[in-house]
Amino acid sequence: MLQRLRMLTAGESHGPALVGILEGIPAGLAIGEQLIGVQLQRRRQVAGRGGRSHIETDAVQILAGVRHGHTLGSPLALLLTNRDFPQWSEIMSVTAPTLPVEPVTVPRPGHIDLAGCLKYDTSDTRNVSERASARETAMRTALGAICRQLLLELGISVGSQVLQAGSICDTNDYGHLTPGQLNLLADKSPLRCLDPGVSAAMQKAIDEATATGDTLGGKLAVRVAGVPAGLGSTTQWDTRLQARLGAALLSIGGMKGFEIGSGFSGTSRPGSEANDAILPVAGGFRRPSNNAGGLEGGLSNGEEIILRVAMKPVPTLRRPQQSVDLVTGKSALPPQERGDSWAVAAASIVAEAMTCLVLVDALLEKFGGDTLNQLQQHLQASANWSRPKLSHESGDE
Ligand code: EPS
């Protein structure tokens, strides 16, 4: 789905490290390990995480693509060492282990285990679950942090919040907040929920689930301000921006639903109410509403992009669920595993990162440039038509 960027990650959850490559970022972008570290910390230090998040420090190392604090235009290579690897060195050994390693032959319901074992013709679930693990999203967050910096240089900001944990929902309207303000407030709460009362109820529900060895899911929102109109294309199905954003967000483990703007609830309204009117104002026009969530016909329309993603409950339970031993064919319980009891807050940071990646790709596709400076100039040159007067700029909403 990426047109101009290439992103690759490698690494098993309990292997030595995660590795990431991002190609296509223009030269001249100021970036450093500390800036990337800020996003990694946001992902790690949230509610619902299991013991592993306390073990990992997620200290990133830039191996390539940056010189004297600025990108070179060459591929960026990042390394995130797994601190927990020494405990797993035999189990995850690249060479044949020196000690016998027990295979994990009972798949966890809801996890990739069974489908993955069928795909790869193995009865050891570890051969598939290690790569499918959400650990990989640490690297996505790191690579996304580079894209976020580029977006900031272009005046585009991305924010997110948690809207639901289990059955507890935050139904307040936060439309008056910019994505930057949203993040400032969300980051103050370990749940990344803006309403303190709702947050407390969410925490209680998570604690109750954790106490019984269970897990919860939920819903998150991502919002982006400052996106120029005309990103994406309608020339082919896979060039539409909304398809690219949807694919990126649904590629995060556990995501089961994707909404844009008024989303599923908007479908019950007639078109006359669902459409966002176009009103003339001096020097341009304004949209009094944003049901489209900033995407019309698959293109960005210059309004704020509003996305929501539904995440299923974390499948790994400490209260094991009925399954089958793939070797004996007999009824069995999966081994008890540590894990996260709720991952929606962490996923909201990953969702921001994936959104940043897609938007940088679409910006480079439309405006191009080998350097940040060129990209900025190209964007500026088309400012009149690509950044129409927005409703929130007109001051009369
Ligand atoms: C994960 C299970 C847990 C999480 C891990 C993702 O790890 P472990 O099995 O080692 O306890 O902590 O997430 C991370 C380590 C991370 O950085 O997000 C899983 O099975 O997806």
pLDDT of the residue at 390: 47
Contacts 24+ apart (CB under 8 A), 198-207: 198/168, 198/169, 198/170, 198/172, 201/168, 202/47, 202/162, 202/165, 202/166, 202/168, 203/47, 205/165, 205/166, 205/167, 205/168, 206/47, 206/48, 206/165, 206/166, 206/341, 206/342
Ligand 1 atom nearest 338 alpha carbon: 11
pLDDT band at 338 (very low <50, low <70, confident <90, very high): confident
- Pick the residue whose CA is nearest to atom 13 on ligand 1: 135
Distance CA 309, CA 295 (A): 16
Distance CA 327, CA 342 (A): 31
pLDDT of the residue at 1: 86
| Structure confidence by residue, pLDDT tens digits, 145-191 | 999 999 999 999 999 999 999 999 999 999 999 999 999 999 999 99
The three-class DSSP label of residue 134 is helix
Query: Which CATH number fits the domain 6-96+104-394, given the four candidates 3.30.470.30, 3.40.50.80, 3.60.150.10, 3.40.190.10?
Result: 3.60.150.10
Which residues neighbour 331 within 8 Å (Cβ) at sequence distance 6 or greater?
322, 323, 324, 325
Report whether pLDDT(283) > 90. Answer: no
Average pLDDT, whole number, for the chain? Answer: 95
pLDDT of the residue at 382: 85
Which element (helix H / strand E) includes 17?
strand 17-23
Is residue 53 within 6 Å of ligand 1 at its C-beta?
Answer: yes
- Pick the residue whose CA is nearest to atom 10 on ligand 1: 52
Report whether pLDDT(395) > 60. Answer: no
Ligand 1 center to 71 CA (angstroms): 31
| Structure confidence by residue, pLDDT tens digits, 201-225 | 999 999 999 999 999 999 999 999 9
pLDDT band at 397 (very low <50, low <70, confident <90, very high): very low
Ligand 1 center to 387 CA (angstroms): 41
Ligand 1 center to 340 CA (angstroms): 7
pLDDT of the residue at 394: 40
Report whether pLDDT(391) > 50. Answer: no
- Residue 327 near residue 123, CB atoms below 8 Å: yes
pLDDT band at 384 (very low <50, low <70, confident <90, very high): low
pLDDT band at 5 (very low <50, low <70, confident <90, very high): very high
Report whether pLDDT(363) > 70. Answer: yes
**What global pTM score does this model have?**
0.96
Is residue 126 within 6 Å of ligand 1 at its C-beta?
Answer: no
pLDDT of the residue at 4: 98
Stretch 222-241: mean pLDDT, rounded?
96
Q: What is the DSSP letter of 183?
A: H
- Pick the residue whose CA is nearest to atom 4 on ligand 1: 339
Ligand 1 center to 245 CA (angstroms): 25
